[in-house]
Amino acid sequence: MTNLTTGGCLCGALRYEANSPPTYAGYCFCNDCRKASGGGFIAFMGYPASALRITGDAVTHTLAQSDGRKSERNFCPRCGGLVYGGIRGETDEHTIYAGTLDDPAHFKPAIAIFNSQRPAWVPLPEGLKVFERMPG
């Protein structure tokens, strides 16, 4: 038995494993996540960097937010799969994009953020704590 949560990009070149449950998990409906993913939202899980091991090359796309913070999204250079957020070796915390899980059942969403930007064609799952923008 292992408690490892594993996942990675479509081609398998960019991989991760986590040895603890995520500290938070949910959906982001912001316009940036919509554009970055090409879908209606990004499903994310937050992990302390210390709980994660990420292997393989990544291309980082950095976008400045209106509040001055930056979003760093990391893609596999081979297949283009969007895998995680944050800068490896620099940020204390990473978001892992839940669609990359090997076993998607590991994703247990609890929150929805940026609900104010959710397109009408994306249904809001039930049972979540909903934030119209970024919480707190």
Q: What CA–CA distance (Å, rounded) separates 31 from 78? A: 25
User: Per CB under 5 A, does 15 bind Zn ion?
Assistant: no
Q: What CA–CA distance (Å, rounded) separates 67 from 45? A: 22
User: Per CB under 5 A, does 11 bind Zn ion?
Assistant: yes
| Least gap, CB of 23 to Zn ion (angstroms) | 17
User: Per CB under 5 A, does 111 bind Zn ion?
Assistant: no
Of 28, 43, 54, 83, the residue at the interface with Zn ion (CB under 5 A) is: 28
Q: Considering beta carbons, is residue 18 or 42 the nearer one to Zn ion?
A: 42
| Range list of β-strands (E), the chain | 5-8, 15-18, 24-28, 42-48, 52-55, 59-64, 70-75, 82-85, 93-97, 111-113, 129-130
| Least gap, CB of 134 to Zn ion (angstroms) | 9
Q: Considering beta carbons, is residue 48 or 56 the nearer one to Zn ion?
A: 56
By rule CB under 5 A, what count of residues binds Zn ion?
10
Of 76, 82, 101, 112, the residue at the interface with Zn ion (CB under 5 A) is: 76
Q: What is the DSSP letter of 19?
A: S
The CA-to-CA distance between both ends of the chain, in Å, stands at 37
The amino acid present at 64, given as its one-letter code, is: A
Contact residues toward Zn ion (CB under 5 A) are 9, 11, 13, 28, 30, 33, 76, 78-79, 81
